[in-house]
Amino acid sequence: MSPASPVWLRVRLLRVLWALLAVLPWPWKLWALIHNFQECTWQVALNKFQRVGENLESDRFLHQEPVDTVRNVFNMLVDSPIDRREKYLGFPYYLKINYSCHGQDSEDLVRRGHLIGLKPLVLVTFQAPANFYRWKIEQLQIQMEAAPFRSKEPCPATEVCVMSWYTPMPIKNGSVVMRVDVSSNGVGPIIPNQRFHVNINGFLKMEGDKIQFTVGDELFDLKLRYFVNVPSRPLWYNVDQSPVLILGGIPNEKTLIMTSTNFKEFSLVELSIDSCWVGSFYCPQAEFSATIHDAISTESTLFIRQNQLVYYFTGTYSTLYEGSHSSGKWVRVLASECIKRLCPVYFSSNGSDHIIALTTGKHEGYIHFGTITDGLVSFELLPRNQSMCQRLLADRCSITWATFISGENTLILLVEIYYQKSDEKYYQLTNYNLITNEMNILYTMPLFIPDAGGLEFLMILGTETYTNTPMVPKGLFFNVYNNLLFIWGNFLLQSYNTENFLYLADFPKESTIKYLVNSFQGDVVIVTETEEIWYLLEGTYQLSRLFPSKGWDIHVSLQVMKESSLYASNETMVTLFYEEDKLYQLVYLIQKQQGHLVKRQVPVENVLLYKQYNKYHVEPEGNFRTLIFTNFCPFEVMRLGNLPNPQAYTRQERYLARPPMVLNPSGFHTENSLAVYQGLVYYLLWLHSKYDKPYADPVHDPTWRWWKNKKQDKDYYSYLASNWLSAGGVHIDMDSYEKVYDLKASYRLPERIFLDKGAEYHFSIFLTARGHSFEMGTVVGSVFKVRSRVSVGVVVADPSCTESLVQQRVLVKRNSVLFLVTLRDKSVCYDQGISGHHLMKTSLMVKVVGSSGFCFQHTHLGPRLQGNLMVPVFIGCPPGKRLAFDITYTLKYMRLKNKHYYDCIYQDPEMPCFLFRDMFYPFFLIQDLVTGDSGSFKGSYVLKVVGGGRSLGSIVDYNEEEIYRYNSPLDKTDSRIWTTRTAGTTQDMAFHIMSYENSGIEWLCLENSPCYDLTPQGIFPPEFYFKVLVSNRDVDNSTYCDYQLIFLLHIHGLPLSAKRALFLLIVSASVLVGLVILYIIICLLWPYVVRACSHLRWRINNIIASESYYTYATSSRVFSLSSQPSFEAISKVPSQVDTKVENQEDQPKLEPAEENQPESLLSAQPSASLSSL
C-alpha cells in the first residue's frame, strides 16, 4: 500500500510471537488440516470449441451465439435415446479445469486425482437481466460433472501425459453475467470450493485472427507511474449485473483497467477518444488533464468522465438486445453541459439501469438523470421546471452528491447552499420524487462536528455541544436493503429514516473519507484520503481500523514467513471491492524491480482477531504461570438449525447434466463425446426456455418431453452400453439430465429470500454460552424462571411490512440457549405484480448482543465473523411461478359434465378443439418451476377474449373498446362472445369474476361479435380461434402474484345466423328440387335421345365411309391415267360415282355400288369408320 508498511523495514519479534500464540490454543492436527485445505486451489480457463485439449492460455469470452458444430456427431448416434430429427447445437467455449497444490506439480496431481476417482463438479449460475420486460426473470443454475480429456500434445507414455477436465460453458439468452462454482465430488484431495466470474465481454471484436478491443487499444506495459504514489479510487458498477468492470484514475492517461473476470484477468486499454477540451464562459476549467476521473459500468454500457466531458460506449451483446443498439465508437453525451461528477446507481429499476451526472456552470443546481434500457441511453434534466436553488430559496447552490432510491422513485440530494446575508455555507439533505415532482428538506447539517464526550455514538438532537472543526460532507451512500443512509466527509453519520441521525464518534475528525464500499450484506469499508481502511458492521457503532494497525502488521509478518507472492515491501492500493461477502483489494506490487497488479483478499477477520490478542493476562497454575487471552465473545458455539429447503425461498432453479458415458477402458473422452456433451446441455437449456407455454403438460417437468417416448427402451440402451455396442462409442443415460427439486439446506442462511403474501421463513439459532451465563429471575405471581444472559436481537428493515417473532428456550444442562426465529410478511406493503417484477427490497438482521467484532468461527478457510447475520429479503411475487391452462383436467371434466367430447376433424394434440354448443369449463394450474409443485388455481380470476381469427395466421388483437363489448355483461350492442351463470363481477360490474367452483362458460357469438355468421369453408361447420386472457389482478387477495395467462382456444361447430341458415336452406332445397326435376326429365327423354344418337351415328358413319371411297377412287384414277394409253374410258367411272354421291336422292343406291368396290377398298372402310368414332 502507499505509503509502504513499516513492517518491511524490520519484522518485530513480538508481533510474530503474538501471531504464534494466536494459533497455540488450536490442536496441532486441526492446524495441519486447515493448512492442507488452503494449499490446494482450483484453476479454471476458458477454451474455444476448436482448441479443446490444447495447453494454451485462457480465451476471451467474445462469441455469444450457439454454433452448429455437433450435428454430424449426433447423426452418428443411430441407436440412442435422442431424436436425431431435433436440432442440437453447441456452445462456442469449454471450461477447462485443473487444480494445483503448493510445491507440487499440477500435471501429476491431476493424473493422480483422475486415477483415484476425483471429478470436479461445476455449478454455473446465470444472473437475471435488468430488463424484465424483455426477458423472464429467473434464478437459473446448471450443475455439470467435468469430463476427463487427454491433451493433444505428443506424449511418449502409453496412456496419458497431460490431461484436464472439461465441461461445456453454456450461454443463455438474457444473461451476460455468469458465476462458476467448482467443487469436488468428495474423492481424493481436500480442495476448497472456489468461485469464478466468467462474464461475456461485449467490448471485443475480431480483426482477422486477432481479438481487439472496440473501446481502444490494449497496452501491455504497466508503467510504474501509472500506479506508484497514485491514490486509490472507487470501483463503481451495477451490482451483480455488470459483466465488465472498469477503473480509471491513471494520471494524465486516457486509459482504463478493464476486466470481465473480476480482476482475475484484466487489460489496460487506451481509449479512442480525443483529449481536447474546449472551454466556455459557463464551464470553469482550472486545468486540463487526460485522466479518466469517473468510470461507471452498467449491464450494457460504460460511462466515463474526462475533465467535464462525459462519454459512453454500448457493448455488443446479442444475448440482450439487437446489434443496432451497440456503439461503434465512444459517444459524447450532454455536449453542452459541464459535468463535475458522475454518481453511481448500484441497482437497476423498472427494467433499466441508471446513472446520475452532477452539473456545474449554467445549470448549477440541476442534475442529469440517465436511463439505460437495452443499451439505449437517455438523460433527463431534474428537477423539472425549477432548479434546486430556486426551490430552496437560495442565492446560490451546488449539488454535492445524489443517490437514487429505486423502490420509491426518489432522489436524495446533498445540497451546498449559499446566502448573501451570511458568509457561512450550509448543507441540506433533500429528496425529490420523480413521479410527483415534489421536493422536501429532510435534514439540515450542523455547521461543526459534535463533541461525543467519549461515547461511541451520539444522537444529534440539536442540544449537544460541538467542536471547532467544521463539518464538511463529501457524499452519500444508501443501502436499499436496510434503508441505512450514510453521510460522509470528515465525519460519519448514519440514519434509518433520513430524519434522525447518529454520529459515529470512533471515526477521527482529522481524517476525511474518500469513498465507501458496501457488501450489501451488512459490511461497510471506509477508505480515507490518506488510504486508511476502516471497517463497520451495519447496525453497530464500532469502527475498526484495519490499515494501518497492529493486526495488519501481524498478518503481513505471517505472510512474509510463508513467502507469499501477494505481498511486497513496496505496494500501492488501487481499489477495494466486494465479491459477495468477501472484501478484495487490487494492489500494485513491486517485486525484484518488476511491477504487477494482483488481486488479493483483505483479511478482515484475521486483522480483527489479531487485535484481540493484545489483551491478555497471566494466571499462576501450580508452579507455572499460564498466559490467558481475554475473549470478549459472549458465546462459544453458534449454529443455525431447522433451516427449510432453500429452493422455495431462494427461487433457484437447478438442472443436472452429467457427461455421456464413453466406451473406453481408460475413461477418457474424445472430441466427439465432448461434442455430444455440448449438444445435450444445449438441448436441456432449450427445453427449459420453451417450457413456458400456456398449455400445461401432463407431467410438470421440462425434461418430460425429451424422453417420454424413449423411457420404455431404457433397458435396451443399457444392454447396448454394457456390451460396448452403443453407436459412436457413447452411451447417453436419460437419468443424467434432469431438473433438481430437492436441494437441502447447508446450515447457512440463504443469499436471499423471496416472500409472497403472508409467507413465513423459520430457522433456529443455537448458542452455547461462555461460562455460567444463567440466572434465576422471578415474575410476580409465578414460579422461578431461568434466564440467560446471552440475548439475540432481530431487526427488520421495514417493520411496517414485515415482522419477526423470537422464542427463547433455555437448555440449562447444555449451558445453551435455542432461539426460534420467524420472519413473516404482513400482507400490507405490496400490490400485485408479475412474477419477479418490481420486488420490494428489505432485509432481516440478526445480532447476538455484544458479539460485533469479537466472535469468530474457525473454519478450514480461516476465521469467520460470527454473531451478525444479514439476509436480503424480496417482497412480492417470487420468480418461477406461473399460471397454466390445465388442458388435461379440462377435457376430463368436460367429458364428465357434457357426457361427450367431439374434437376437430383435423386433430392437433397440442391444441384440442371444443364444440361450440357444449359448456366450456376451463381449469388452471399454479405451477412452481422451482420446487416442481403444481396444483389447481383455487383463486378468483377474470377471463376476457382479447383477440381472435378464423385461422392461426389471421388472429388479430382487439382494442379496449372491443374487449369491453365482447366480454362485458353490461354490453347493450349484441356483441358478447360468451356468458356465464356466475353472478360475481368486478367492482365496476364490467366483467365477470370466475373461480374454480364457478367456471362454466356458454358461447354466444351474438350479432355484432367477430365470430357471428361465419361462412363455412368446405363441408364442415365454421371454426374460430379465440385469444383468451386470464388474470387474477384486483380480484384475488391470496397472493402478490398478478397471474396473467394468454392462450388460444380452438372452437368448432359455430352456428350460422338465422338469415344465412334460411338462405342456405332455400338454396339447398332449390338445388335439390332442380336436381330431381332434371333427373325426371332425363329419365323420360332418355330413350329418344338414345335413338336419335344411334341414327346420327349411323349417318355419320355412312358419310365417312363414302368420303373414304371417294378419296380412294380419285387416287386410283390418277394412277391409271399415268399407266394406260386410253384416258377417256377410265375417266367415266369416277364421274358416275360423283354424280351418285352428290345426288342425295340416289344415296341409298350406294350399297350395291359398295359390293362392286375392290377388295382392298372394302377392307379399309371399317378402320376409317372406327377412327371417325
Question: Using alpha carbons only, how large is the chain's radius of gyration in Å?
Answer: 43
pLDDT in the model for residue 1112: 57
Contact 462, 456 (CB under 8 A): no
Tens digits of per-residue pLDDT, 82-136? 988 888 999 999 999 999 988 788 888 998 999 999 999 999 999 999 999 999 9
DSSP bridge pairs for 147: 166
Core vs surface per residue 1058-1080: b (16+ CB within 10 A) or e? eeeeeeeeeeeeeeeeeeeeeee
Which segment of 160-174, 278-292, 359-373, 725-739 scores lowest on mean pLDDT?
278-292
For residue 788, what pLDDT band results from cuts at 50, 70 and 90? Answer: confident
Whole-number Cα distances in Å, 1061 to 408, 1006, 1015, 1018, 1075:
61, 15, 10, 15, 21
pLDDT in the model for residue 1121: 42
Cα–Cα distance between 938 and 936 in angstroms, integer? 6
pLDDT over 70 at 11, yes or no: no
Is 827 buried (19+), middle (13-18) or exposed (0-12) by CB count in 10 A?
middle
Residues in the chain: 1173
**Count of H helices and E strands in the chain?**
17, 69
What number of other Cβ atoms are within 10 A of residue 166's Cβ?
Answer: 25
Core vs surface per residue 864-903: b (16+ CB within 10 A) or e? ebbbbbbbbbbbbbbbbbbbbbbbebbbeebeeebeeeee
Mean pLDDT value across residues 430-451: 94
The amino acid that residue 281 corresponds to is F
Contact 363, 280 (CB under 8 A): no
Contact 137, 207 (CB under 8 A): no
What is the grid cell recorded at 747?
446450515
Express the helix, strand and coil content of the chain in percent, nearest 5 each: 20, 35, 45
- Which contacts (CB < 8 Å, 24+ apart) does range 364-368 have? 364/389, 364/396, 364/397, 364/398, 365/389, 365/390, 365/397, 365/398, 365/399, 366/399, 367/399, 367/402, 367/411, 367/413, 368/334, 368/337, 368/339
Mean pLDDT value across residues 695-718: 91
Q: DSSP letter string over 437-461? A: --EEEEEE--SEEE--TT-SEEE--
Cα–Cα distance between 272 and 213 in angstroms, integer? 10
pLDDT over 60 at 1140, yes or no: no
User: To the nearest whole number, what is the mean pLDDT of the chain?
Assistant: 86
pLDDT over 80 at 1154, yes or no: no
Mean pLDDT value across residues 1051-1062: 83
For residue 276, what pLDDT band results from cuts at 50, 70 and 90? Answer: low
Residue closest to 236 by CA, chosen among 148, 347, 151, 71: 347
- Percent pLDDT > 70 in the chain is 88
- Classify 1122 as helix, strand or coil: helix
User: DSSP secondary-structure letter at 426?
Assistant: E
Tens digits of per-residue pLDDT, 1078-1109? 989 889 888 888 889 898 888 888 888 887 76
What is the grid cell recorded at 1053?
361447430
Q: How do strand 840-848 and strand 816-825 relate by DSSP bridges?
A: unpaired
Question: Which residues, 6+ apart, have CB-to-CB distance to 585 below 8 Å?
Answer: 573, 575, 576, 599, 600, 601, 602
Residue 805 half-sphere exposure, CB side, CA atoms within 13 Å?
8
Q: DSSP letter string over 861-924? A: TEEEE-SEEEEEEEESS-TTEEEEE-HHHHHHHHHHHHS-----SS--TTS-EEETTSPB---E
Question: Which residues, 6+ apart, have CB-to-CB distance to 1130 below 8 Å?
Answer: 1117, 1120, 1121, 1124
The amino acid that residue 950 corresponds to is R
pLDDT in the model for residue 1111: 62
pLDDT in the model for residue 1164: 39
Tens digits of per-residue pLDDT, 182-235? 999 999 888 999 999 999 999 999 998 899 999 999 999 989 999 999 999 999
Cα–Cα distance between 756 and 744 in angstroms, integer? 21
- The DSSP H or E segment spanning 682 is helix 671-690
pLDDT over 50 at 631, yes or no: yes
Cα–Cα distance between 410 and 356 in angstroms, integer? 13
Tens digits of per-residue pLDDT, 134-150? 999 999 999 999 999 99
